[in-house]
Structure 1
Amino acid sequence: MIHNNIYFQIELTARKIRQYGQNVLRSHGIDITIEQWLVLNVINDNETTNQIFIGEKLVKDKPTISRMVNQLDKKGFIIKTSSSSDSRQVSLSISKKGKTLIHNLQPIIEGIRLKGLQELSEKESQHIKSILNKIQKNLDT
């Protein structure tokens, strides 16, 4: 019965995507998670940003984002800069090491994406995107 539930299928698919991606990263000796990769991308796409913005973009809670940001900082992939007016405010940017990682990972990540979509036509891919966007819109509050 649960396997017929569309929400279960969506969640199962998302988990398989993350698991496959993590296995590929591990096989290349890359020491970040798929979730950390997403955080890096949000920071990279937004020059200088903060944890609140990242949490909103990735729909993740503050403790989860904080933990990932701290791990990325510890690995040297991002730079945390405290505000001169409010020490609680921290800006995040990509370090040189992080830029190199992003550059090197782009083809690997693209391969991960293509693997899951390899037998879908362009029309099918667009249809899935449309359906998922409708579900997300229906659930916006």
Structure 2
Amino acid sequence: MINNNTYFQIELTARRIRQYGQNVLKSQGIDITIEQWLVMNVINENESINQIDVGEKLVKDKPTISRMVNHLEKKGFIIKTSSSTDSRKVELTISKKGETMINNLYPIIEKIRFTGLNELSEKEKEIIGTILVKIRKNLDA
């Protein structure tokens, strides 16, 4: 019965995507997680973003984002600085080492992203995208 449940199928697919991606990164000797890559990518695309905004964009809770940010800072991929406008906030930027990692990972991440979609037509991809957006909108209500 659970195997026929749409939500279960969505969750199972999301887990499999993460697992596949992690296996690809590991096989390449890359020591970051897919989730850490997403954090780095959001920071890279949003100059001087804070942890709260990163969490909102990735729909992650504060402790999870904080843990990932601290880990990425220790590895030298991101830089934390005090906000010039709000002393309670910390702004996040990508370091040179982080930029290099992002640039090196783009082709690998693209391969990960598109492997599961290889045999789908453009119309099927469009339909899936539309359906997933509708589901998220229903849950935002």
What TM-score, normalized to structure 1? 0.97
Aligned residue for 1:132, secondary structure, equals: helix
Instruction: Give runs of aligned pairs for residues 9-88 of structure 1, distance below 5 A.
Output: 9-83=9-83, 87-88=87-88
1:48 Cα offset (Å): 1.1
1:84 Cα offset (Å): 5.3
List gaps (5 residues or longer) in structure 1. Answer: none
In structure 2, the residue matched to 1:128 is 128
RMSD over equivalenced CA pairs, Å: 1.1
C-alpha distance in structure 2 between counterparts of 1:92 and 1:136, whole Å? 27
Aligned residue for 2:49, secondary structure, equals: coil
Could you report, residue by residue, the CA deviation over 1:43-91 in whole angstroms, capped at 9, with x for unpaired residues? Answer: 0110110000011011110000000000000000000001357543100
Instruction: Give runs of aligned pairs for residues 81-120 of structure 1, distance below 5 A.
Output: 81-83=81-83, 87-120=87-120
C-alpha distance in structure 2 between counterparts of 1:34 and 1:71, whole Å? 13
List gaps (5 residues or longer) in structure 2. Answer: none
User: Which residue type is aligned with residue 36 of structure 1?
Assistant: Q
Could you report, residue by residue, the CA deviation over 1:29-48 in whole angstroms, capped at 9, with x for unpaired residues? Answer: 10100000000111011011
Total equivalences in the alignment: 141
Aligned residue for 1:29, secondary structure, equals: coil
C-alpha distance in structure 2 between counterparts of 1:113 and 1:36, whole Å? 15
Regions of 4+ moved over 6 Å: none
C-alpha distance in structure 2 between counterparts of 1:85 and 1:127, whole Å? 43
Identify if the C-alpha distance between structure 1 residues 85 and 56 changes in structure 2 by more than 3 Å, giving closer, same or farther. Answer: closer
Aligned residue for 1:117, secondary structure, equals: coil
